Chains A and B, each alone.
Chain A
Amino acid sequence: MQGVRPVVEVVRLGLVAYQEALRLQQVYKKRHESSPAHTLLLCQHPPVYTTGIRHKPYPAPLLDQLCLLGADVHRTNRGGLITFHGPGQLVCYPVLNLGSFKKSVRWYVCQLEKTIISVCSRFGVEASTSPHTGVWVDDNKICAVGIHCGRYITSHGLALNCNTDMSWFSHIVPCGIEGKGVTSLSAELQRDVSVEETIPHLLEAFRDQFNCQLTHAQTEEERTDLTGHGSQLVP
């Protein structure tokens, strides 16, 4: 259908355990079985380290060490290497059917990167891409990207550091890239930039970059039906 912008429903999950977010993504992926039902899940996670489909760089003993730090640890089926998620980081899981957009993961990842560059720009932070996927401010990564795609349905997504405690990253080589660092909107602007402050900018940038319409999950009942329990909103 020419000229009709796809509708994407924004669902705010609040602070949610990584495992629970994985379960919810499966729920939202299943909704695509009958017809496109694009959603954009927004959340924060308690401290967790996650790895992608490449297991060899991360044997069990290494992951056990990370558990000792008090973080959760998960192997996943996404692309990308090891990363960290924690409070103060805006995590977005677009569960889209690329058939309504463009059937190319390369295009999709590029659009996610452009979305984040636009968000940073709205804050006055100059970000860019590099041969390493993700969004960078000079040699420091401000946003990690790692997705999964099956039958054109996407899951996993991106993680933008707003006021994340960056010390968690010191225990890993983020995304397997030696010699580079990490940063956040707060670190770049030298003031506190919260996830809540960032969300409206992210939604506008996503809407513009993907040329879609955004709707918002309306009722507690609706959220409860899908998630199995009421979601917690970060005030």
Chain B
Amino acid sequence: MAACGLFRSLSSSVAAVLPLLARSAPLSPLRLACKPYVRRTVASCSRLSAALKFTDKHEWIRVEDGGIGTVGISNFAQEALGDVVYCGLPEVGTQLAQQDEFGALESVKAASELYSPLTGEVVEVNTLLADNPGLVNKSCYKDGWLMKMTIANPAEVDALMDEAAYERYIRSIED
């Protein structure tokens, strides 16, 4: 089926990303985006957690310094899925339009599609999920992140729900 091409092994995605970060050629916008993120990750986790935006498909995106968005699924979504046993994630470099299917999570013999919250390019996927897909359940906002992408259209971020709006949305679904 057509989507097969997206689901290459994660090790090849990592191989594609690492040389890009290590090269000392003239800086490209992509490298400028990557370097600041790596330095600031640990120190600013708690500050950034306040900046989550949500889609109505229960994905979240956190805008990091340098205009890269980290994408994952919400607690509501991981509970609704059950134990995740496999993460089918895109190749680095994949171009996504908002709402494009970018992968699937498998749980309890169900494959559930993932939809891109924004328009942009995949710059990194979470390689830890290959051996530890359960991170999506155990730490959906932190270690269970799925992918990082560039943000081609910042207005799309503004249109997403903030945490309070998402909480209201969840309550309206559960009724």
A148 CA / B7 CA spacing, docked (Å):
16
Residues of chain B contacted by A106 (CB below 8 angstroms):
79-82, 107-108, 110
- Tell me the nearest residue of chain B to A106, going by C-beta: B82
- Once A53-B7, A79-B110, A109-B110 are accepted as A-B contacts, the answer to whether A103 and B173 lie under 8 Å apart by CB is yes
Which of A70-78, A84-92, A184-192 lies at the interface?
A: A70-78
Q: Are A109 and B109 in contact (CB under 8 A)?
A: yes
Residue-wise, chain B 90-130 has the 8 Å CB interface mask toward A (1 for contact) of: 00000000000100101111111101000000000000000
- Interface band, chain A: 20 to 34
24 contacts between A and B (CB under 8 A): A53-B7, A53-B106, A53-B111, A56-B9, A77-B1, A77-B3, A77-B104, A78-B109, A79-B107, A79-B108, A79-B110, A104-B80, A105-B107, A106-B81, A106-B82, A106-B108, A107-B80, A109-B82, A109-B110, A146-B109, A147-B111, A150-B101, A150-B112, A151-B57
Among B9, B79, B101, B104, the residue within 8 A (CB) of A53 is: B104
- Give how many B residues have a beta carbon under 8 Å from the other chain's beta carbons: 24
Query: Is A15 on the interface with B (CB-CB < 8 A)?
Result: no
How far apart sit A148 and B81, CA to CA, in the bound complex (Å)? 12
**Contact between chains at B109 and A55 (CB < 8 Å):** no
Q: How far is the CA of A5 from the CA of B112 in the complex (A)?
A: 25
A148 near B110: Cβ-Cβ < 8 Å = yes
Contact (Cβ within 8 A) B111 A79: yes
- Are A78 and B108 in contact (CB-based, < 8 A)? no
Please indicate the chain B residues that have their CB under 8 angstroms from the CB of A53 in the complex: 7, 86, 88, 104, 106, 111
Min CB gap B78→A, angstroms = 10
**Contacts from B to A (Cβ < 8 Å):** 1, 3-4, 7, 9, 57, 79-82, 86, 88, 101, 104, 106-113, 115, 173
**CB-CB contacts below 8 Å: A111-142 with B:** 133-134
Beyond A106-B107, A109-B108, A109-B110, is A54–B86 a contact (Cβ under 8 Å)?
yes
A158 CA to B108 CA, complexed, in Å: 13
Any B CB within 8 A of the CB of A66: no
Say yes or no: is A174 at the interface (Cβ < 8 Å to chain B).
no
Q: Which 3 A-B pairs have the closest CB atoms?
A: A106-B82, A150-B113, A104-B80
Q: Across the interface, which residues of B come within 8 angstroms of A148, CB to CB?
A: 110-113
A residues less than 8 Å from B57 (CB atoms): 151
Residues of B within 8 A of A151 (CB): 57, 113, 115
Q: With A105-B80, A105-B82 in contact, is A133–B1 under 8 Å at CB?
A: no
